[in-house]
Copies of this chain bind each other. A is one copy, B any other.
């Protein structure tokens, strides 16, 4: 299949269309505007619904409504806009509705800037909204993954009746690199909960409110049970040379691209290095760390933030003293050489 050159934001859009998404609701924000614009064009072509909402709040709740009626629905934004969607995301998770939410992260906090960043890991992975819910969080690191993981996101969302977040950043969204637009065979998931009007069947309700004594506790247990299933089945992670490595670099998304090159550089210079690239940030690939019992291993976590995933690595690595961090926030992008230097320091 031949490759084409599109910017990452457009790749996400095309993957959604190929995965059967016909309902997109969004509000412009840099650096993901190409995605909104792409959907505006493409939905006209494929007869889908594109709606520029009055705000991010409206967009996430339009997604809620469309999903409640059975559509594969999506919205996208960047950091400040995603913050505004937190209430809605918590509702969608609580109501067990599928939905795909794209965050093309930029520099924060506040208005920050529009440079690439990975500063919303905590928000995405630990829950920026209220309550004990979890998003499935997918972290692509190149255009091809943007395509493949976006398609996967819709299947996971339907399968688990859970919102899925694509956690990209301004670099991935703006960059063009060749991508193969494989045909996507979407999973057809039955949705016997969808609202269509109570015709020849009992009426249905979709809600996250459980006022009866003990009901919300039960509902939370049900959610947790689902999360355990997801943890058991959906962890995705790329590893390289970790059993022989002395230093394992851990990075996702954009910083993982750089990390790979740095690890290669280290190897060329005779250093035993490897890497772990989580693809699902939640569920986090805990087992990979737990399986590496060798106490002499050192972990270097590289993030384009001030240290967020590093806390998960510390938690899983057995002993946090083995974990070090390299990162900055606000548009900083690591250099391959600098990562390499950090690796060298650790051996």
Enumerate chain A interface residues (CB-CB to B < 8 A). Answer: 57, 79-80, 82-84, 86-87, 90-95, 105, 107-115, 117, 119-120, 122-123, 126-133, 207-211, 214-221, 223-224, 305-308, 311-312, 314-316, 318-320, 328-332
Interfacial chain B residues near A115, Cβ < 8 Å: 216
CB distance B108 to A132 under 8 Å?
Answer: yes
Q: How far apart sit A115 and B216, CA to CA, in the bound complex (Å)?
A: 9
Minimum CB–CB distance for A335 against chain B, Å: 14
Interfacial chain B residues near A92, Cβ < 8 Å: 110
Q: Find A80's partner among B82, B90, B218, B223 (CB 8 Å cutoff).
A: B90
CB distance A315 to B315 under 8 Å?
Answer: yes
- Ordered by A's residue number, 30 sampled pairs between the chains whose C-beta atoms are within 8 Å are A57-B84, A79-B131, A80-B130, A83-B86, A84-B86, A91-B109, A91-B111, A94-B108, A94-B112, A95-B110, A107-B216, A109-B129, A109-B132, A109-B133, A110-B208, A112-B208, A112-B216, A119-B132, A123-B126, A123-B130, A132-B305, A132-B308, A132-B329, A215-B330, A217-B328, A217-B329, A217-B332, A218-B330, A220-B328, A314-B315
CB distance B128 to A129 under 8 Å?
Answer: yes
CB distance A128 to B210 under 8 Å?
Answer: no
Minimum CB–CB distance for A57 against chain B, Å: 8
Name the CB-closest residue of B to A128. Answer: B128
Minimum CB–CB distance for A198 against chain B, Å: 22
Minimum CB–CB distance for A191 against chain B, Å: 19
CB distance A94 to B109 under 8 Å?
Answer: yes
CB distance B220 to A306 under 8 Å?
Answer: yes
What 4 A-B pairs have minimum CB-CB distances, sorted nearest first? Answer: A108-B131, A110-B208, A94-B110, A109-B131
CB distance A221 to B328 under 8 Å?
Answer: yes
CB distance B90 to A110 under 8 Å?
Answer: yes
Minimum CB–CB distance for A16 against chain B, Å: 23
Interfacial chain B residues near A223, Cβ < 8 Å: 109
Q: How far apart sit A7 and B216, CA to CA, in the bound complex (Å)?
A: 25
Q: How far apart sit A79 and B57, CA to CA, in the bound complex (Å)?
A: 16
- Extra A-B contacts (20), CB below 8 Å, given A80-B90, A108-B130, A216-B331: A80-B87, A83-B87, A83-B129, A84-B86, A91-B109, A91-B111, A94-B108, A108-B129, A108-B133, A109-B130, A109-B133, A110-B208, A123-B128, A132-B305, A217-B329, A218-B330, A220-B306, A311-B312, A311-B315, A315-B320
Interfacial chain B residues near A129, Cβ < 8 Å: 83, 108-109, 123, 128
Q: Find A130's partner among B105, B208, B219 (CB 8 Å cutoff).
A: B105
Minimum CB–CB distance for A218 against chain B, Å: 8
CB distance B80 to A128 under 8 Å?
Answer: no
